[in-house]
Amino acid sequence: MKFRIIYTFFTLLALALLLVNNSAGPAEVQGLDRTGSPLSIGACQLCHNSGAFSPSPVLEILDGGNPVNTYEPGKTYKMRVTVNASGGPAGYGFQAVALSGAGNVQAGDFKNPGADVQITPLSGREYPEHNKRSNSNTFEVDWEAPAAGTGDVRFYAAVVAANGQDGSNGDGSSFLGSPIILSEVITNTAEANELPGGFTIFPNPVASELNLRINPPTQGEYQLRLTDAKGRTALSRRFALSPGEQVLSLEAGHLPAGAYTVQVAYGQQMSSRKMVKW
Ligand code: HEC
């Protein structure tokens, strides 16, 4: 008898949670990435799949109102997700994430969520998402770009255009077919930021093995990065170095022929050299 009451109580509680809570974002309610990123196990259309309103997401990173496709490390931008839809939906929802590296780690920091937006932490990452069905089809949140040496940042987003009937039935959704990619601006102009001692590379042009002669003044982790002529990261390594002159060797034989920039960064200091691969 007692057990039946307890059982009924928990069943009702579970049902109530399922029905009541979903109006907030899926990171909070379901504890899941639904953005369509490599971390997603199904995006919003797993449930919101009627095809109504044909929504499509537009994700922009804005600098003083203007969309950018590069970022300066440490600078704050605004991320705006717009849900373009037809047929007059009653409300909107979204989820987004910013990732970098092969490990899909959190890139940068989201802060100051705008109207109807919350930032939900999940598995060491931050998910900006709706905190209720929104009447507005735009969602905004500040994004502070990550530290120098992070490389490309990939933004993923999924959206729902809802019929306002507090369920997933009759709603439409979609996600970005490919992520919005921001590349890192190489800020090697400021003299103050030059790596003391810099470094030299040889041979140049290089055919297979690239050597770097470096004389680090401090012990620490140095980041080495090769970018191609389009600013895309071709190679990225971290070295734990002790002070004193030394030569680092890197296999470069697999790189496509062309012009590259070799960067070595330590904290906020960075030096770069031009290199040609043939
Ligand atoms: C596992 C199923 C499931 C997934 C995946 C899911 N939702 Fe939902 N969603 C629901 C359910 C169930 C409701 C209704 C519950 C409620 O309103 O409290 C709901 C409600 C909503 C509503 C309010 C709908 C209305 O008409 O009132 C919005 C907006 C919404 N979800 C957006 C999203 C977005 C955006 C995503 C993806 C990033 C998403 N949902 C992923 C199940 C899901």
CA dist 179 → 59, 129, 167, 268 (Å) = 9, 17, 28, 28
Rounded to an integer, the average pLDDT of 49-60 is 96
177: which 2 tokens? 């077919």
Residue 183: predicted pLDDT: 93
The larger pLDDT score, comparing residue 50 to residue 13, is at 50
In this structure, which residue's CA is closest to atom 1 in ligand 1? 47
Cβ neighbours of residue 73 closer than 8 Å, sequence gap 6 or more? 145, 146, 147, 148, 149, 150, 184, 185, 187
Radius of gyration of the chain (CA): 24
Q: How confident is the model at residue 19 (pLDDT cuts 50, 70, 90)?
A: very low
Contact 37, 123 (CB under 8 A): no
Give CA–CA dist 88/253, Å, rounded. Answer: 56
Count the alpha carbons within 13 Å of 219 in the hemisphere toward its beta carbon. 1
Q: How confident is the model at residue 230 (pLDDT cuts 50, 70, 90)?
A: confident
Evaluate if residue 197 carries a pLDDT over 90. Answer: no
The larger pLDDT score, comparing residue 4 to residue 205, is at 205
Minimum-distance ligand 1 atom for the alpha carbon of 92: 29
Q: Tell me if 56 CB under 6 Å of ligand 1.
A: no
Closest CA to 201 of 129, 124, 260: 260
Q: How confident is the model at residue 194 (pLDDT cuts 50, 70, 90)?
A: confident
Evaluate if residue 202 carries a pLDDT over 80. Answer: yes
Contact 72, 145 (CB under 8 A): yes
Evaluate if residue 128 carries a pLDDT over 50. Answer: yes
Give CA–CA dist 97/100, Å, rounded. Answer: 10
Closest CA to 122 of 9, 224, 25, 214: 25
Tell which one of 15, 21, 23 to mutate to probe ligand 1, the residue whose CB is within 8 A of the most ligand atoms: 23
Please report where in the chains the tokens 């009653």 appear, as a residue. 90
62: which 2 tokens? 């804005």
Q: Tell me if 34 CB under 6 Å of ligand 1.
A: yes
Q: Tell me if 40 CB under 6 Å of ligand 1.
A: no
Evaluate if residue 17 carries a pLDDT over 80. Answer: no
CA angle 57, 44, 111 (to 5 degrees): 60
Give CA–CA dist 37/96, Å, rounded. Answer: 9
Evaluate if residue 34 carries a pLDDT over 90. Answer: yes
Cα of 154 vs centre of ligand 1, distance in Å, is: 24
Cα of 199 vs centre of ligand 1, distance in Å, is: 54
Contact 40, 127 (CB under 8 A): no
Give CA–CA dist 73/107, Å, rounded. Answer: 11
User: In whole numbers, what is the pLDDT of the chain averaged over residues?
Assistant: 90
In this structure, which residue's CA is closest to atom 40 in ligand 1? 44
Residue 192: predicted pLDDT: 53
Cα of 105 vs centre of ligand 1, distance in Å, is: 26
Tell which one of 48, 94, 136 to mutate to probe ligand 1, the residue whose CB is within 8 A of the most ligand atoms: 48
Rounded to an integer, the average pLDDT of 223-232 is 91
Q: Which range has the worst mean pLDDT, 25-39, 141-155, 179-193, 261-275?
A: 179-193
Evaluate if residue 18 carries a pLDDT over 60. Answer: no
Cα of 22 vs centre of ligand 1, distance in Å, is: 5
Give CA–CA dist 206/252, Å, rounded. Answer: 8
Cα of 159 vs centre of ligand 1, distance in Å, is: 10
Q: How confident is the model at residue 217 (pLDDT cuts 50, 70, 90)?
A: confident
Residue 184: predicted pLDDT: 92
Rounded to an integer, the average pLDDT of 249-277 is 91
